[in-house]
């Protein structure tokens, strides 16, 4: 701060006695009275110096970047699933999954490539999720872990039974444990075993009110169908199971509003519904009747993000009250099979996976999982957790979740972690020697072999 | 100052004999007459003084005698201090021949600071003066403890602080019956307690897994950093309770807690852990906000009016 504040001008003389200049004028600044207040603004320094650029408004200067994205373009980019990466190394000695290896104990801790047709089918049923790390490797491969072998054995045993049986299970576990990939593995097994795979890829799409809905007349409680979703669903079923369905023909009379060729193959029959929104739901019901008719293959009926259907949906009913997710016809169809109200006459497996991320609160589901765990431990009576009778609860969800088998998915073992880390290294994505030290470190950092965290720690957060 | 010195030296025992006898008597006389009413010492002492005057008609002693100071140090202006110093020096002279400890091995004693000494003293004593007392005390403290005379110990006790901080011995942390070692760590406003036990690399933080407790991988690495740098990730299990502060603070508090627990199991790792920054508590805290500023240092923007 200049000491000459308030002084207009001073004359200075050089040592020679001559004026250095006529008047060296100092900038005038009015004396600022000393303020009693100590507020922050008074302590501010002076105005910005001359020659110093003022802060430009960057937002105003931003140019528009040409063509705006077309409707749906950004969503398509967001939902894009990339299953191969040409920059990743090809893993030598990686075998493709085959029907013989899947149930063997020797397959444990090994990586298997998914065969091409299976990948196509899995892609058609949206079994691959954009958040999973498929894009980092040359080809889609899966780790065959202990639960995978158990699952394969369950499915093999189901197919062998003389009297068909419907097995129902829920995959539960914390975020990143591989529940969705376990569903994918079940679907891959089913495709290889020529089962019919029907997959609801994300239950959230059904309940978050992003797709149209319409009431079904004459139902109580009021039911709702989602025509466009079901049409797309039928197209997925037809495409994914084309190999099986094209060999199967219509065998029953169905009361439909259009004439249908009597010996039409089932994939073409499904396509009929995919093309016509009005026909989608009736054709789905007819197709289901066909698939559960005598002499048909077993069915794998799966749903991911179960939490979203164990609560009220985002849809509003006529009375402006939220519609319970179980009143949506397709959801109800799945829940009936999951709860055991309906069975699969030709046998099969009904599976649902809970979600760990973006998890909506569903206390009923949490309770059902804890009850199932208690049952597995052999607890009975009061030791099994019960719903607090004074707490308002969702009775329908509770009933549908009673008596369910819960497949609790935990972290990988160290051997399994080593198997997948070696695969990362062989793909050139992990540039470290895979030894006991690295395995131990990654296993601990990933919270005990949580595979999603393992991938994050080893691949995405590379040092 | 010079006069003060001379006064002092005047009464020092060495020079006392060089002074005129008359002065000496003047001060020593009253000492001898102190037990005024003592009759038991009649055999060895002078006859008792008759204060009421004797038969010769002279005035009483009380009327005749000058009032004399109790201590010859009286005229030093700091009699209490001088007496104390002389007393200690006398003690030192008396016990100078006793065996002493090796240099640097004397028991650590916190002597009273000058300020603390001044609280007990009624006289103003300069720091330099007090340091002379301390110098004698340091020498006395070197006398071998097994031969420390009682009177020296008592004399030194006066100058010791009430609480000796060096007596406080840090309790050695031990591994308990279950094989657990407890470690404590702090960072910013977080504090962590970790129980380290031999195991296979499992970590629980506040009842949650490491990945659930710390979302950032960097924080997870901080939490198990002592194990990682010593290559012991798969040899110990950790069960920790962390509270306070934010995630980074909690993770870095765990670093210290785990390192402390680990050092109980393997004390030889301390140098390695120190080099890895797992031993020293980071003392940095948030800088306080000041008035007239928007934050600790941020200045407000200039406004024209």
Which sequence spans correspond to the domains of chain A?
Answer: 161-384+395-408, 414-458
pLDDT digits (tens, 9 = 90+) for A399-454: 888 888 888 899 999 999 999 999 999 999 999 999 999 999 999 999 999 999 99
User: What is the rounded average pLDDT for all residues in chain A?
Assistant: 87
Rg, chain B, Cα only: 34
* pLDDT at residue number B232: 95
Provide the number of CB pairs (under 8 Å) joining chain A to chain B.
72
Higher pLDDT, A34 or A408: A408
Question: Does A47 contact B210 at a Cβ distance shorter than 8 Å?
Answer: no
pLDDT digits (tens, 9 = 90+) for A54-74: 666 666 666 677 888 899 899
Contacts of B302 in chain A (CB under 8 A): 44-48
Nearest to B244 by CA among B181, B170, B184, B183: B184
Question: Does A40 contact B303 at a Cβ distance shorter than 8 Å?
Answer: no
Average pLDDT, integer, range A191-220: 94
* pLDDT at residue number A355: 94
Q: Tell me the three state secondary structure of residue A379.
A: coil
What count of other Cβ atoms lies within 10 Å of the Cβ of residue A415? 13
Alpha helices in A174-276 (DSSP H): 179-192, 203-207, 227-240, 242-245, 266-275
Q: Chain B contact for A46, CB < 8 A?
A: yes
- C-beta separation of A425 from A446 below 8 A: no
Contacts of A457 in chain B (CB under 8 A): 217
Nearest to B32 by CA among B12, B47, B10, B21: B47
Q: CA–CA separation, B195 vs B174, rounded Å?
A: 11
Q: CA–CA separation, A424 vs A420, rounded Å?
A: 6
Q: Chain A contact for B80, CB < 8 A?
A: no
Task: Collect the ranges in chain B with pLDDT lower than 50.
Answer: 1-38
Higher pLDDT, A268 or A2: A268
* Residue A38 confidence (pLDDT) above 60: no
* pLDDT at residue number A291: 95
Q: Chain A contact for B202, CB < 8 A?
A: yes
What count of other Cβ atoms lies within 10 Å of the Cβ of residue A400? 24
Q: CA–CA separation, A274 vs A277, rounded Å?
A: 7
* pLDDT at residue number A342: 94
Question: Does B209 contact A450 at a Cβ distance shorter than 8 Å?
Answer: yes
Paired residues of A111 in beta bridges: A143
Q: Chain A contact for B44, CB < 8 A?
A: no
Q: CA–CA separation, A94 vs A141, rounded Å?
A: 9
Average pLDDT, integer, range A227-243: 96
| Alpha-carbon gap: B264 to the closest alpha carbon of chain A (Å) | 22
Residue ranges of domains in chain B, CATH in brackets: 1-13+68-163 (no CATH), 180-275 (3.30.230.10)
Q: CA–CA separation, A105 vs A189, rounded Å?
A: 16
| Alpha-carbon gap: A55 to the closest alpha carbon of chain B (Å) | 12
* pLDDT at residue number A20: 47
Query: Where is mean pLDDT largest: A11-15, A93-97, A196-200?
Result: A196-200
ipTM of the complex: 0.79
Q: Chain A contact for B209, CB < 8 A?
A: yes
Place of tokens 């599976």: A351
Q: CA–CA separation, A298 vs A155, rounded Å?
A: 10
* Residue A344 confidence (pLDDT) above 80: yes
Average pLDDT, integer, range A348-370: 90
């Amino acid at each position: 701060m200049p000491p000459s504040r308030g002084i207009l001008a001073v004359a200075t003389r050089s040592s020679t006695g001559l004026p250095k200049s006529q008047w060296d004028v100092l900038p005038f600044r009015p004396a600022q009275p000393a303020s009693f207040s100590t507020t922050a603004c008074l302590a501010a320094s002076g105005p910005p110096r001359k020659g110093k650029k003022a802060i430009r408004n960057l937002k105003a200067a931003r140019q528009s970047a040409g063509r705006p994205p077309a409707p749906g373009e950004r969503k398509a980019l967001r939902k894009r699933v990339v299953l191969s990466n040409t920059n990743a190394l090809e893993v030598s000695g990686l075998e493709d999954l085959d029907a013989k290896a899947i149930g063997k104990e020797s397959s444990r801790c090994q990586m298997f490539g998914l065969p091409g047709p299976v990948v196509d089918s899995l892609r058609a049923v949206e079994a691959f999720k954009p958040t999973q790390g498929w894009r980092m490797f040359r080809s889609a491969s899966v780790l065959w872990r202990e639960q995978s072998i158990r699952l394969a054995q369950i499915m093999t045993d189901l197919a062998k039974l003389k009297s068909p049986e419907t097995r129902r299970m829920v995959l539960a576990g914390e975020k990143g444990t591989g529940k969705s990939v376990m569903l994918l593995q079940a679907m891959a097994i089913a495709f290889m075993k020529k089962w019919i795979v029907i997959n609801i890829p994300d239950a959230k799409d059904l309940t978050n009110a992003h797709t149209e809905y319409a009431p079904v007349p004459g139902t109580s409680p009021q039911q709702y169908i989602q025509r466009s979703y079901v049409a797309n669903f039928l197209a997925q079923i037809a495409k994914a199971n084309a190999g099986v369905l094209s060999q199967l023909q219509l065998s029953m009379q169905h009361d439909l509003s259009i004439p249908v060729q009597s010996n039409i193959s089932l994939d073409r029959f499904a396509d009929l519904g995919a093309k016509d929104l009005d026909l989608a739901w009736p054709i789905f019901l007819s197709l289901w009747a066909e698939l559960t008719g005598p002499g048909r293959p077993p069915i794998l009926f799966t749903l991911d993000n179960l939490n979203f259907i164990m609560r009220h949906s985002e849809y509003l009913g006529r009375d402006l009250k939220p519609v319970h997710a179980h009143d949506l016809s397709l959801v109800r169809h799945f829940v009936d099979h999951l709860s055991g109200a309906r069975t699969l006459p030709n046998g099969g497996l009904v599976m649902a996976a809970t979600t760990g991320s973006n998890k909506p609160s569903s206390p009923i589901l949490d309770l059902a999982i804890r009850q199932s765990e208690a049952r597995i431990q052999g607890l009975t009576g009061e030791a099994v957790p019960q719903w607090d009778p004074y707490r308002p609860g969702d009775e329908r969800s509770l009933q549908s979740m009673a008596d369910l088998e819960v497949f609790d998915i935990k972290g990988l073992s160290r051997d399994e972690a080593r198997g997948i880390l070696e695969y990362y290294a062989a793909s050139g994505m992990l540039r470290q020697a895979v030894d006991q030290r690295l395995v131990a470190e990654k296993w601990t950092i990933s919270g005990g072999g949580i595979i999603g965290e393992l991938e994050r720690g080893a691949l995405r957060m590379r040092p | 100052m010079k006069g003060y010195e001379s006064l002092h030296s005047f009464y020092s025992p060495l020079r006392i004999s060089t002074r005129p006898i008359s002065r000496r008597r003047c001060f020593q006389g009253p000492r001898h007459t102190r037990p005024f009413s003592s009759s038991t010492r009649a055999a060895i002492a002078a006859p008792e003084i008759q204060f009421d005057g004797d038969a010769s008609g002279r005035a009483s002693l009380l009327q005749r005698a000058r009032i004399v100071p109790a201590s010859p140090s009286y005229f030093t202006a700091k009699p209490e201090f001088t007496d104390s110093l002389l007393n200690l020096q006398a003690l030192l002279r008396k016990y100078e021949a006793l065996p002493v400890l090796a240099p640097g091995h004397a028991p650590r004693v916190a002597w009273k600071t000058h300020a603390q000494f001044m609280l007990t003293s009624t006289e103003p004593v300069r720091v330099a003066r007090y340091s002379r007392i301390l110098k004698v005390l340091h020498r006395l403290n070197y006398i071998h403890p097994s031969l420390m005379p009682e009177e020296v110990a008592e004399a030194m006790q006066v100058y010791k602080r009430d609480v000796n901080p060096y007596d406080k011995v840090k309790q050695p942390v031990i591994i308990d019956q279950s094989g657990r070692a407890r470690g404590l760590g702090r960072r910013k406003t977080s504090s962590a307690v970790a129980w380290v036990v031999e195991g296979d690399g499992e970590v629980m933080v506040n009842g949650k897994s490491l990945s659930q407790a710390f979302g950032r991988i960097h924080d997870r690495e901080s939490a198990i950093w002592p194990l990682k740098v010593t290559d012991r990730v798969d040899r110990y299990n950790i069960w920790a309770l962390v509270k306070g502060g934010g995630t980074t603070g909690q993770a870095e508090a765990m670093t210290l807690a785990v390192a402390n627990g680990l050092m109980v199991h393997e004390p030889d790792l301390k140098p390695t852990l120190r080099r890895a920054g797992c031993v020293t508590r980071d003392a940095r805290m948030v800088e306080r906000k000041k008035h007239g500023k928007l934050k600790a240092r941020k200045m407000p923007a200039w406004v024209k009016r």
